[in-house]
A and B are shown apart, each in its own frame.
Chain A
């Protein structure tokens, strides 16, 4: 078992060893760098892998091949794409606001990278241990909205401004259910620190882990979180901000060359970060689902779960049609928000009902009845009227 523990901690011991090699006054800087550089190396690489995986996966879903020319099975396509964006001319509209136009893609990528600093990737593998880390995660996400607005407004293009407005309205609306769906986890773990939240799920009864997903409020919370996360990262079925058939590419329509690649990168980095947060909050972080699988290293569990979530999002993108703007807003405010509040009630019931078996029933009852009543209330009085079009026949 000692061998497995050593494999589990191999990165931590390697970092300690490397830090101790350095002279004493350099040690703190080297330690910080050794936490930052892996993040900067791993996640853009994961982005490259995800682009080829997504194009291949979507191709498979849509009954076509996907990229298959560059390298074996098209595996070198990300390299070709990267080179292409590097060599492409970066065109800037004459009317654009020069400074804001330049700053927007940079400001989009920085918050996404900052968010990685508080996610625990494995046992003892969190770059920045902080008391209010969860709040930090949501706070840095706020920069994304400003970046999107800057991109949309500075381009001086109607489509990009429309796309930015759509994106911001959507992000603001879905940020509330996103945060509220994380609240039950914080309530029952009693901490805002991701390591504490993971540690609270790191117990086993009869070989099954205490993941929050396996509890009624956690199950509902995870589904709410996933929906809000896909809206927050502008992914299908919530990809209205870049609805190609209506506003071409949304807020980054005027961007070309590497600035466009930065937008692409920022979007995917945001998706990975929010998936990492979902894993930490609901899927037990780096812990194994069954106690007999504990010998597999913790970091492998984290990245395995991340990979599974990415595949899930690709699957959703290939399957679901895009929603309409009013449907999007109605869904956020009339279903997601009340459901997240009901879920907090269910978590409170879980906390205060004394008997372990009974609290399961009470909590599940609150979640299910809330879901059914909300669904009833939304569909019962819906009167469908014939749509009239102003600009079309």
Chain B
């Protein structure tokens, strides 16, 4: 593994750590955006340019901004009253269990040896695959997102008085 991988990994982990541990929620959200950026960098390192740019577009451009919006609109962000109720009794077994699952998945995958992809798939190949072999999952995701969108609109609609 070259140095660039370690720099990217360290950057991602550090910003994820900051996102967990900082006191101010807005700072946490901005650090989360940095972590997303680091993950996009890891995708670029793996020669997956399309996925990396999609990651930036969706996560840094939309998800991080939405998180920030949610923080600002739902609570008073000026007061740093972020008191996490932490109980070691639950958190340690939970952390260990999740880490075990992730590590197991990481080490048992058949894709392990493809860390340096020899041939980067072009965007054209990705599109062809999405429209032929993986068209059913793509359609299902589309329907799911549409349903979520409609649900959000219904929730946001102002309630009308019954009489009209």
Contacts and interface: CB of A to CB of B under 8 A. Distances in A.
Contacts of A150: 30
B124 interface: yes
A352 B120 CA distance: 30
A141 B65 contact: no
B64 A192 contact: no
Interface string B99-114: 0000000000000000
Given A138-B57, A139-B56, A168-B69, A146 B123 contact: no
B64 A146 contact: yes
A168 B57 contact: no
B68 interface: yes
B65 A132 contact: no
Given A153-B26, A190-B124, A191-B124, A139 B53 contact: yes
Given A146-B30, A150-B30, A141 B61 contact: yes
A43 interface: no
Nearest to A175: B61
Contacts of A135: 50, 53-54, 57, 123
B122 interface: yes
Nearest to A138: B57
B49 A130 contact: yes
Given A131-B50, A131-B123, A175-B61, A146 B56 contact: no
A142 B122 contact: no
A149 B56 contact: no
Given A131-B49, A132-B49, A132-B50, A145 B56 contact: no
Contacts of B61: 139, 141-142, 145, 175
Which of the listed residues B30, B62, B64, B123 has the most CB atoms from chain A within 10 Å of its own CB?
A: B123
A289 interface: no
B65 A131 contact: no
A58 B61 CA distance: 33
Contacts of B69: 165, 168
B35 interface: no
Given A132-B123, A146-B33, A172 B53 contact: no
Contacts of A161: 72
A131 to B, nearest CB: 5
Interface string B115-133: 0000010111000000000
Nearest to B37: A143
B16 interface: no
Nearest to B126: A132
B68 A149 contact: yes
A172 B50 contact: no
A140 B40 CA distance: 12
A191 B53 CA distance: 16
A136 interface: yes
A328 interface: no
B28 to A, nearest CB: 13
Contacts of A110: none
Nearest to B52: A139
Contacts of B64: 146
Contacts of A192: 123
Interface centre among A130, A132, A136, A143 (most CB of B within 10 A): A132
A309 to B, nearest CB: 24
Contacts of B120: 131
B60 interface: yes
A110 to B, nearest CB: 12
A91 B146 CA distance: 47
A100 interface: yes
Interface in A153-175: 153, 161, 165, 168, 172, 175
A199 to B, nearest CB: 15
Contacts of A168: 65, 69
Contact of A142 (B26, B30, B60, B72): B60
Interface string A169-195: 000100100000000000000111000
Between B49, B53, B56, B57, the greatest number of chain A beta carbons within 10 A of the residue's beta carbon is seen for B53
A143 B60 contact: yes
Interface of A: 100, 130-132, 135-136, 138-143, 145-146, 149-150, 153, 161, 165, 168, 172, 175, 190-192
Given A142-B61, A191-B123, 11 more contacts: A130-B49, A132-B123, A135-B57, A136-B49, A142-B57, A146-B33, A146-B60, A146-B65, A149-B68, A165-B72, A175-B61
12 contacts: A131-B49, A135-B123, A136-B53, A138-B57, A139-B57, A140-B56, A142-B60, A145-B65, A153-B72, A161-B72, A172-B65, A192-B123
